[in-house]
Structure 1
Amino acid sequence: MEKPKDSGLIHCSQFAGNWIVNRGTSLNMKKMRIIRQLFRNNCVKYRVNNNRMKNILLMLLILSGLFAQGYGLDDCIEIALSGKKTLLSAELNVTSAERGVTGSYSGLLPSLNASTGAGRTHFPERESVSIDYDNLNLDTTVSSYYDNMSAGISLNQTIFDGGRSWNQVKQAKTNLNIAQLNYRSTTIQVIQNVIKSYYELLKAQKLYDVAEKNLEMSVQQVSLVTKQYDLGVVKKTDLLKAEVAKGQASVDVLIRKTNLQNARRVLFNDMGMQDYGQSISAVDQEWIPPEIPSNAEALKLLKTKNPTLLVSQSRINLGELSYKIAKGLRLPSLRSSVSYSANGEDSDALMESIKDDWSLGMNLSVSVPIYTGKSLSTQQYQAKLSKQQSEYDFITLLNDLRVQAALIRESLKNYSEIIPLNRAIVISAEEDLKLVRERYSLGSATILEVLDAQVSLTRSNSTLINTIHEARMQEASLKALLGTLDLEYQLEEH
C-alpha cells in the first residue's frame, strides 16, 4: 500500500479537476474573496442557487490556477462562514430583531386614520307634509328609507403611558443585541467545529502514515527473518512472530484508512459542502505553544467578549425593563386625539359638507387603574422574580466559565511541557529500533526485542500525534470560551 509522501501540499479533487495547493494564503485569499463576492452579487441579481454558485466558483478557481496558491484551515473556515445554513438562520434572527426595533417606535409615534362610509336605513313608509309658502299649497312626500355618507380623519397620540413605550423600545434594542450575540455564538461554534474536524483529519492522516510505516517495517522484518530462516540462523517461531506482527499491522492500516475517510466526510459536512467523494488532505504545521492569558486577562475577556455571557447580561437588562413596564401599568395614562368629519345624503352633499358643514373634535383622556383584580401586582412581582433569576444565572454561568478557562489554561501549560518530552521519546524509540535491528542481524538480539522496539516506536508516535491534537483542541476551546475565536476569522465582506 504505497502512499505518496507529504510534500507540504494539500491534495484535493473536486468535480473533474484536482486541487494541489500549499499553505500560502495571504495574498491569494483576497483574490478568492473578491471572486466569491462577485458570484454572490450575481446570485442575488439572477437568483442563482447557492450550491450551484459555489460549484461554479470552485470550477473557476480551478481553471484560473488560484488553488495553486493556498487552501488550508483558514480557507475551510471561510467556506463554512460563507454558506453554513446555521449561520444563515441566525442571520435571519438578526434581521427579524432589526424589524422589531423599527416596530417598537409605534407606541411613541402618532397614529393617523382615515375613514369613510355609506349606508341606507329602511323604515315603514312615511308621509311628510310641508307648506309651500310661495305658492300657498301643501307638498306631500312619501319615503321608506334615507341615505347617508360620511368621511373623516383622526389623529391619535399617546402623551404619557408610565414610560411603557420607551421601555418597549429599549426591550427591542436589547433583543436585537441578543440576536447579534447569538449570531456570534453560532459563528464561534461553526469555526470551532471546522477546526476540530480539520485537525481530526490531520490526526487521522498522521496515524494512517504511522500505520503504513509500521506495516512497511513489518514487511521488511518478515523478509529479513525469512532469509535468516532459510539459512538456518533463526527458528521458525521467529518467522511466525514476524508474520503475526505483519498481520496486525495490516489490520491497523485498514482501521486507520477507514478513520481517515470518516474524518474527511465530517470536515466537508462542517464546511457546509456536499460530499461528492472528493478528497482533501490537511496541512501539518508544527505546534507552537500559545500565549496563555492570566486569570485577570481571562476574566476580562470573558466579561467583554464571550457572547453567551453577554447574552446572560442582556437578559438581566430585559428583566429590569419588564419590571419597569409592569410598574408603569400602575401609573395613569394620558392620550389625545383630533378628528375631522362630515356627513351627507350623497357624494355631492358630502363634498359640500366637507367644505361648509364639517365638524372638528378634540379629545383628551386620562385613564387611572384603580383596581384590576391583583393582575398588575402579580405581573410586577413575576417580573421582579424573573430579573433575580437572570442575575443568579449570570453569576452561575460566569463562575462556570471561569473554572473552565482555568482548567484549559492549566492543560495548555502541561502540553507545553509534555509535547517536547513526547518528541524526545519518539527520537529515542527510533534510535532504539535501529540499534535492536542491528543487534538482531548480528544474532545478539531476539525477534521479541525487535518487535517490542517496533511497537514502542509506533505507540510513541501515536501518543505524540494524539497529544498535539488535544493541545490544538484545547487552544481552540480557550479562544472560543474567551470569545476571541470569531474575531480571528472575520471575513472582509462582513
Structure 2
Amino acid sequence: MRYTYLIATFLFSVCSGAKAQEKLLSKDEAVSLALENNFGIKVAMNQLAIAENNSGLLNSGYLPSLSGSAGANYNELNSNTEYPGQFDSEGIPRPDLEINDAESQSYNAGLSLNYTLFDGFGRLYNYKRLKEQYHLTELQARETIENTILQLFSVYYEVARLSENENVLRQALQISKDRIKRAEYSFEYGQNTKLDILNAQVDVTNDSISLMNVQQNLVNAKRDLNVVLSQNLNERYAVDTLVSFIPRLQIEEYIARAKEYNVAILQTERNLAINEYDIKVNRSGYLPSLGLSGSYGWNLNQSAATSFIPGQIIPGSNRNSLNFALGASLTWNLFDGGGTAVRVKNSKIAYENQELLKEQVSLEVDRDILNALEIYENRLQIFKIQEQNVITNQNNFERSKEQFQLGRITSIEFRQAQINLLNAQTNKNLAKYDAKLAELQLLQLTGQLLEVSF
C-alpha cells in the first residue's frame, strides 16, 4: 500500500515540475513557426519561386539573342618543290625550290544578333500563359499552407486536449489518494473494514496508470507538434487551451462568398485560363514569323612567304578586315502536314474538359460546405451538451462527496460518481476541440482559413 502511494506522489511531483519548465506556445506563435519552418511550406515556396522565374521577362522570348565567337589559326609550312626535266635559259637544270618555316596566322572575332519581330502571337500568349501558371502555383502554395495549418491545429488541439485530460486525471488521482488516508484513519478507529482501504488502493493504481498513459500520449503529441513546426523533437511546449468560436452570422457570410475564395475553385479557373492560352498558342502556327539578324566581324590573315619564280620569294601579306551585315527573314509554314490543326483541336477539347471539371469541383465544394456546416453545428451542439453534463456531474460528485464523508454512501458509489465526472470532463474536452477543428475545416472550404485569427 505504501509503495503505491509513493509512486503516485512521485508521479504527481514529476508532472508538476516538468509542466513548470515548459514555455507557453500561443496559437499565433505556432502558426508563425509553421509558416517559417515547415518543410512542406518551404518546398511550396521554392516551387513558387521557380514559377516566378519562368513567368519573367527573361523567359518570355521577347528579348533578342546575342552570341559572340572568336578563333585563331596557326600554320607552319616546310616544302620542297622539284622541277624534273626543266632547264633554265642557259640549259642548266632548274634547281629545287625549298621553303622552310613558312608561318601563317589567322584571327577572327564576331558578334551575331537575332531577334524575332513577330511569331504569330505565339510568344505573347505563351508569356500570358506563364503568368497564369505562376498564379496557379500561388494557389497551390496557398493550398499547401492551408493544409499545413489544419494539420498544425489538429496536433495543437490534441496536445491541448491531452493537457486538460492530464489535469483532470491528476485531480482524480489526488482524490483517490485522499481516500486512502481517510480509509486508513477510519480503519484505525474501527469505522470501516480493510476492504475500503483496498478499494482505495485499487483506485489509486488505476488512476495512476490512466495518468501515465495520458502523459505518454501527450509526449508523443508534442513530438508530432515539433515535426509540424520543424523544431527539435525534444522541445517541450505548453499550449493554449482557450477556444473561441466564430459567430454564426459571420460563418454565413463566409459561406455566401465561398465561390470567390475557395482555393479548389480558383485553381480550376486558372487552369481554364491556361487552356484558353494553349488554344491561342497553337493557333499561332497558322501565321508567319518575321525575324531580324545582324552580325559584326573582324578578321586578320597573315600569310606566309611564297615563290613561283625560281630564285625569287614573294613575301607574305597581312589582311585586316571588318564586316557588318543586317538581314531580315520571313517564314510561313503554309502546310505542316496537319500538325497545327490537330494541336488546335486537342487544345479545344482540353478546354472543354476543364470547363466540365470546374462544374464538377463547384458542385463538390457546395456539397463539402454543407456537410462541413452540419458537422460543425452538430459538434458545437454536442460541446454545449457536454458542458452542461459536466456541471450536472460536478454537482452530483459534490453531493456524493458530502454523503460519503457522512458515511451515507459506500466508497463504490462515491467512486462511480467520480468516474462519471471524469468521463464528463474528458468528453467535454474532446467535444470542444472536435468542434473547433470542424470550424477550421469549414473555414478552409470557404477560403477564409488564412484570414481569421485563431
TM range (shorter): 0.7 to 0.9
One of 409, 413, 433 as aligned partner of 1:449: 413
One of 8, 12, 17 as aligned partner of 1:2: 12
Quote the residue 1:307 is aligned against: 263
Instruction: Mark the CA change 1:270 to 1:151 in structure 2 (over 3 Å): closer, same or farther.
Output: closer
Q: Which amino acid aligns with 1:479?
A: L
Instruction: Name the % identity.
Output: 21
| Partners of 2:295 and 2:80 in 1: CA distance | 35
3-state secondary structure, aligned to 1:246: helix
Q: Which amino acid aligns with 1:331?
A: L
Q: Which amino acid aligns with 1:318?
A: I
3-state secondary structure, aligned to 1:401: helix
| Partners of 2:287 and 2:78 in 1: CA distance | 52
Quote the residue 1:284 is aligned against: 241
**Corresponding position: 1:336 with 2:292:** yes
In the TM superposition, residue 253 of structure 1 has moved relative to its aligned partner by 0.8
3-state secondary structure, aligned to 2:330: strand
| Partners of 2:358 and 2:77 in 1: CA distance | 71
3-state secondary structure, aligned to 1:483: coil
Structural mapping, 1:160-199, within 5 Å = 160-199=118-157
Instruction: Mark the CA change 1:368 to 1:322 in structure 2 (over 3 Å): closer, same or farther.
Output: same
Quote the residue 1:62 is aligned against: none
Quote the residue 2:61 is aligned against: 107
Q: Which amino acid aligns with 2:282?
A: A
One of 310, 326, 332 as aligned partner of 1:367: 332
Instruction: Mark the CA change 1:5 to 1:371 in structure 2 (over 3 Å): closer, same or farther.
Output: closer
Quote the residue 2:403 is aligned against: 439
3-state secondary structure, aligned to 1:487: coil
One of 365, 381, 389 as aligned partner of 2:353: 389
Structural mapping, 1:95-494, within 5 Å = 95-102=49-56, 106-118=60-72, 150-234=108-192, 237-276=195-234, 278-291=235-248, 293=250, 297-301=254-258, 303-341=259-297, 345-346=301-302, 351=320, 353-354=321-322, 358=323, 360-372=325-337, 374-488=338-452
3-state secondary structure, aligned to 2:420: helix
| Partners of 1:111 and 1:232 in 2: CA distance | 104
In the TM superposition, residue 311 of structure 1 has moved relative to its aligned partner by 2.5
8 Å CA contact 1:11–1:279 kept in 2: the answer is no
Tell me which moved more, 459-468 or 160-169. Answer: 160-169
In the TM superposition, residue 266 of structure 1 has moved relative to its aligned partner by 1.8
Q: Which amino acid aligns with 1:330?
A: Y
Instruction: Mark the CA change 1:149 to 1:489 in structure 2 (over 3 Å): closer, same or farther.
Output: farther
8 Å CA contact 2:158–2:221 kept in 1: the answer is yes
8 Å CA contact 1:104–1:168 kept in 2: the answer is no
3-state secondary structure, aligned to 1:345: strand
| Partners of 1:467 and 1:171 in 2: CA distance | 47
In the TM superposition, residue 147 of structure 1 has moved relative to its aligned partner by 6.6
8 Å CA contact 2:245–2:436 kept in 1: the answer is no
8 Å CA contact 1:340–1:361 kept in 2: the answer is no
**Corresponding position: 1:93 with 2:51:** no
| Partners of 1:256 and 1:4 in 2: CA distance | 14
In the TM superposition, residue 406 of structure 1 has moved relative to its aligned partner by 2.0
**Corresponding position: 1:83 with 2:37:** yes
Unaligned runs of 5+ in 1: 14-18, 22-70, 128-140
Instruction: Mark the CA change 1:142 to 1:326 in structure 2 (over 3 Å): closer, same or farther.
Output: farther
| Partners of 2:445 and 2:13 in 1: CA distance | 39
| Partners of 1:369 and 1:145 in 2: CA distance | 53
Matched residues, number:
413
| Partners of 1:441 and 1:125 in 2: CA distance | 128
One of 3, 6, 28 as aligned partner of 1:74: 28
Bigger radius of gyration: 2
Instruction: Mark the CA change 1:168 to 1:145 in structure 2 (over 3 Å): closer, same or farther.
Output: farther
Q: Which amino acid aligns with 2:239?
A: A
Unaligned runs of 5+ in 2: 1-10, 82-96, 304-316
Q: Which amino acid aligns with 2:208?
A: S
3-state secondary structure, aligned to 1:368: coil
What is the TM-score when the length of structure 1 is the normalising length?
Answer: 0.72
Q: Which amino acid aligns with 2:123?
A: S
| Partners of 2:268 and 2:21 in 1: CA distance | 43
CA offsets 1:228-277 (integer angstroms, 9 cap, x no match): 4555554555544443333221211111111121122222222221133x
| Partners of 1:406 and 1:343 in 2: CA distance | 78
CA offsets 1:354-412 (integer angstroms, 9 cap, x no match): 2xxx463423222214133x433443333233333333333333332322222222233
| Partners of 2:393 and 2:339 in 1: CA distance | 77
8 Å CA contact 1:336–1:365 kept in 2: the answer is no
Instruction: Mark the CA change 1:257 to 1:151 in structure 2 (over 3 Å): closer, same or farther.
Output: closer
| Partners of 2:114 and 2:332 in 1: CA distance | 15
Instruction: Mark the CA change 1:279 to 1:122 in structure 2 (over 3 Å): closer, same or farther.
Output: closer
CA offsets 1:136-174 (integer angstroms, 9 cap, x no match): xxxxx9999987655544432223222110111112211
Instruction: Mark the CA change 1:88 to 1:297 in structure 2 (over 3 Å): closer, same or farther.
Output: closer
8 Å CA contact 1:156–1:338 kept in 2: the answer is yes
Q: Which amino acid aligns with 1:381?
A: K
In the TM superposition, residue 98 of structure 1 has moved relative to its aligned partner by 2.0
CA offsets 1:408-461 (integer angstroms, 9 cap, x no match): 222333344333322221111111122223333444323332222111101100
Instruction: Mark the CA change 1:470 to 1:255 in structure 2 (over 3 Å): closer, same or farther.
Output: same
In the TM superposition, residue 472 of structure 1 has moved relative to its aligned partner by 1.6
In the TM superposition, residue 79 of structure 1 has moved relative to its aligned partner by 2.2
3-state secondary structure, aligned to 1:2: helix
What is the TM-score when the length of structure 2 is the normalising length?
Answer: 0.78
| Partners of 1:104 and 1:329 in 2: CA distance | 23
| Partners of 2:373 and 2:104 in 1: CA distance | 88
Q: Which amino acid aligns with 2:257?
A: K
| Partners of 2:228 and 2:53 in 1: CA distance | 31
8 Å CA contact 1:287–1:468 kept in 2: the answer is no
| Partners of 1:12 and 1:189 in 2: CA distance | 31
